[in-house]
Chain A
Amino acid sequence: MDDIILRAENICKSFGITKAVKNVSMSFRRGEIRGLIGENGSGKSTFCSMLCGIHTVDSGRFILDGEELKINSLVEANRKGISIIVQEMGTLPGLTVAENIFLGNEDRFIKCGIKNTAAMNQEADRLLEKYGFRHIRGNSMIDNYTFEDRKLVEIVRATYFDPKILVIDETTTALSQNGREELYKIMKRFREEGRTVIFISHDLSEVIEYTDTISVLRDGELIDTVDSDKVNEDDLKRLMVGRELKGRYYRTDYGEPVSDDVVLSVEGLTVPGEFEDVSFKLHKGEILGIGGLSDCGMHELGKAIFGASENRRDTVALADGTRINSICDAIKHNIAYTSKDRDNESVILNETIRNNICLPSLDKLAERGILRHKKLDRFAGKYADMIHVKMTGINQFVSSLSGGNKQKVVLARWLGRDFDIIVLDSPTRGIDVKVKADIYTLMYELKKKGKSIILISEEIQELMGMSDRILIMKDGIINGEILRSPDLSEEDFIAKMV
């Protein structure tokens, strides 16, 4: 049997004038875990979506097991033995777990047009049991489960029929450590069974640890394919970016004192069921990190500080005693917020970059109630350029931007409001190293200008690298405080997080 299971030959794809994939040729072996990395917009997701039938190939071809692949949908790809776990939510609310698992493939349970629901539920339960997800039941509505559990259902859906090739597209950012471990187990099982995994991730350490080989794409072109055990993160960054990108792109200053001026005071803040009795003070020009496990309550804390929680108790107040009780209060008093759920809570995908940037500033941009487009264009253009948003123009729709550039649009929006305090929740989630570096540089510049930042993150390295002070949350309460120091280690954090 030929060791090569899949060959991509001169694959090309364009979206309008944008060439997303340019003449990419690669081979994949049986039993291989191939990492696929690149900056946002490098073409890796587009390449995989063509392989899975989500997008059509403009030119070139895929050869699977010696036969040219001609598919037009994900279901056809499944039938050929190719499957994908997508980055965003891939289950449908309003359906049961079993219906989600077998969606598009119900025919095996259908006789004379009638679906054997009991058999479908039974088969779903058997699969969930086999994967060790016993807490999930086939006949339950998917809506009853958490985001992570729904991702686990997706994993079952994508793998239960033992596809020859499994594509995992930046899925691990959505999972807790437990969820990731389950996914790694499945990847290893695939390898042992002689199946192939294509693993896309921005977490370079994860890619190095769990893959056999790594292919690097840049600007739609294949740069190189390397052995995972022969490279380090800096090598990969250099290949991705095309120039030297220093391994340490966090702050390098230590020992700088933080101002004593308190800009924000949080006292006894509680959201029932999420976190309880959180108190802290934020100082001028301080980067205050908040870290913990994904369900420790820190994301909900960020929302609550911004006034976006419905049943929040006790106070968030500015230095002058002004209470922040709502989003309107927050914005009026120059507090900004970027959500972890970028696509649903931070940007309006079906709107232009200009409108996204101008949205919270319309009251100051309007002249006697009238909005002049030239003024909006200038305003948005200024801040988009300041932060180097990669775009075709200010009227480009945000939906066509990469994740990193969407995040830049969000930051540009708040720069336009000239905020004093910003709550950044997972600002570099799903973003490539170059844009991460840009965001960290911006954070440091803002700190130098006296802006205060609350940085909420699940990445310990990021918190260690950027924060003046870090609060660790566990099970909804503050469990520890760590000051910035070059001698910090991950163990210092984990002890308080777990």
Chain B
Amino acid sequence: MTLSEKIQQLKTHKVYGRYYGVGLLVMLAFLFWAFFKILTPDNFGSWEALSYYLQYSIIYSVGACGVYFIVTMGLFDFSIGANVVLSSIVGVILSKTFGYPGLIIGCVITGIIIGILNGFIYVKLKIPSMIVTVGLMLIYESLAYFVAKGEKQSLASDLRGLGVAPGNIIVSAIMFVLAYLILKYTKMGTYAHAIGSNENMAKNMGVNINKYKVLGFVTQHFFVGVMAILAVSYGTSMTAVTEMSSMARNFTPLMGCFFGVAFRKYCSPIVAIVIGEFIISIIFNGFVALGAPTTIQNLITGAALLIIVALTLRSVKGTVVK
């Protein structure tokens, strides 16, 4: 039996087949950890360090869970990073008066408003989502600058509980469970896949496409709003940026989302997102431990993503891939 045939047998095994996806991801995480651990045993990969890598990764995992809804529908949203910046700044400003409630409500409500705006403008103007969200990103960046009056916004030291364990883990776990429940147990989950699969047919089946696309944007930005809470709590401050600099914050949650999409056949996409982001965090921190420059880190992280997704997706020969 060839290796390919053995893998196929494993995938379809009645017992082990269910754990194929998770098993593969855990194995990849271990392999990357082992690789860097061998290269730099003193600087990398202790239990404490792994806990740190995980806490770093779950910030983006929360955002990636939201992004999954939009990507599944076949849409793009380049305003994720701008949401993080604007929501964080609003949250920090409100926290100065209202403490934790201000932080949480400020971030979440800002995220939801951004989601409503993105969705509404997209369905009304009927312009491709990529273009709509790039335009809105510029607006949100500018708004963040005005709201922050050009100043760095720092979170008070007694309000940083959600940036460390167990606060960040509890919040993240709640969001992961919520994402899982929405995907599996609500119409939103079914319709997101239906719209992404064949929008015309879904429409003919009575799915209100525009409504669920707007809901998709709202759901995504709700999760990104929570990601903003975790990000600013972890980083302790946020500075407004302009000239599309916020786009740099789009890519890590997007990469995690791709893990979810690639592994959907084998396991819950939420599980794949969480482990996928952890793998990215291991790679990133591994290169930091090695002292590699940032450009090399980004190059290797991007390459690792391409390799992992290409190996795991393995489209049938001759299928159209766009």
Residues of A at the B interface (CB closer than 8 Å) are: 54, 73-76, 78, 90, 92-95, 99, 103-106, 110, 113-117, 141, 308-311
Alpha-carbon distance between A73 and B208 when the two chains are bound, in angstroms: 10
Q: Are A106 and B317 in contact (CB under 8 A)?
A: no
Q: Are A141 and B265 in contact (CB under 8 A)?
A: yes
Q: Are B197 and A93 in contact (CB under 8 A)?
A: yes
Alpha-carbon distance between A405 and B204 when the two chains are bound, in angstroms: 25
Given A93-B197, A110-B187, A308-B318: 11 more A-B contacts, CB < 8 Å: A74-B205, A78-B206, A90-B201, A92-B202, A94-B193, A94-B194, A95-B193, A99-B190, A99-B193, A103-B207, A114-B185
Chain B nearest CB, measured from A141 CB (Å):
7
Q: Which residues of A contact B317 (CB under 8 A)?
A: 310-311
Chain B nearest CB, measured from A232 CB (Å):
37
Q: Are A117 and B185 in contact (CB under 8 A)?
A: yes
Chain A nearest CB, measured from B221 CB (Å):
19
Chain B nearest CB, measured from A261 CB (Å):
33
Alpha-carbon distance between A104 and B191 when the two chains are bound, in angstroms: 9
For the residues of B in contact with A, the DSSP-based class is: helix
Q: Which residue on A lies nearest to B192, using beta carbons?
A: A94
Q: Which 5 A-B pairs have the closest CB atoms?
A: A75-B206, A310-B317, A104-B206, A104-B205, A92-B197
Q: Are A115 and B186 in contact (CB under 8 A)?
A: yes
Q: Are B265 and A92 in contact (CB under 8 A)?
A: no
Q: Are A103 and B185 in contact (CB under 8 A)?
A: no
Q: Which residues 194-237 of B sit at the A interface, judged by CB distance below 8 A?
A: 194, 196-198, 201-202, 204-207
Q: Which residues of A contact B206 (CB under 8 A)?
A: 73-76, 78, 103-105
Q: Which residue on A lies nearest to B189, using beta carbons?
A: A115
Most buried by B among A92, A116, A117, A311: A92
Q: Which residues 216-262 of B sit at the A interface, judged by CB distance below 8 A?
A: none
Q: Which residues of B contact A117 (CB under 8 A)?
A: 184-185
Q: Are A94 and B196 in contact (CB under 8 A)?
A: yes
Alpha-carbon distance between A90 and B204 when the two chains are bound, in angstroms: 10
Q: Mark B277-294, 1 if CB is under 8 A from A, else 0.
A: 000000000000000000
Q: Are B205 and A115 in contact (CB under 8 A)?
A: no
Q: Count A/B pairs, Cβ under 8 Å.
A: 63
Given contact pairs A94-B196, A115-B185, A75 touches B205 in the complex (Cβ within 8 A): yes
Q: Which residues of B contact A104 (CB under 8 A)?
A: 205-207
Chain B nearest CB, measured from A131 CB (Å):
20
Q: Can you list 8 A-B pairs, Cβ within 8 angstroms, ordered by A?
A: A90-B201, A92-B201, A99-B190, A110-B187, A113-B186, A115-B185, A117-B184, A310-B318
Alpha-carbon distance between A197 and B202 when the two chains are bound, in angstroms: 24
Q: Which residues of A contact B131 (CB under 8 A)?
A: none
Chain B nearest CB, measured from A140 CB (Å):
12
**Is the CB of B181 closer than 8 A to any CB of chain A?**
yes
Which residue from B190, B193, B201 sits with its C-beta under 8 Å from A106? B190
Q: Are A92 and B187 in contact (CB under 8 A)?
A: no
Chain A nearest CB, measured from B287 CB (Å):
35
Most buried by A among B189, B198, B317: B198
Most buried by B among A94, A116, A308, A311: A94
Chain B nearest CB, measured from A23 CB (Å):
26
Which residue from A74, A76, A92, A310 sits with its C-beta under 8 Å from B193? A92
Given contact pairs A73-B204, A74-B206, A104-B205, A95 touches B194 in the complex (Cβ within 8 A): yes
Q: Which residues 100-152 of B sit at the A interface, judged by CB distance below 8 A?
A: none
Chain B nearest CB, measured from A130 CB (Å):
22
Q: Which residues of A contact B198 (CB under 8 A)?
A: 92-93
Alpha-carbon distance between A113 and B215 when the two chains are bound, in angstroms: 14
Chain B nearest CB, measured from A97 CB (Å):
13
Chain B nearest CB, measured from A92 CB (Å):
4
Q: Which residues of A contact B181 (CB under 8 A)?
A: 114
Alpha-carbon distance between A106 and B189 when the two chains are bound, in angstroms: 12
Q: Which residues of B contact A92 (CB under 8 A)?
A: 193-194, 197-198, 201-202
Q: Which residues of A contact B189 (CB under 8 A)?
A: 115
Q: Which residues of A contact B196 (CB under 8 A)?
A: 94
Q: Mark B151-186, 1 if CB is under 8 A from A, else 0.
A: 000000000000000000000000000000100111
Chain B nearest CB, measured from A472 CB (Å):
27
Q: Are B186 and A103 in contact (CB under 8 A)?
A: no
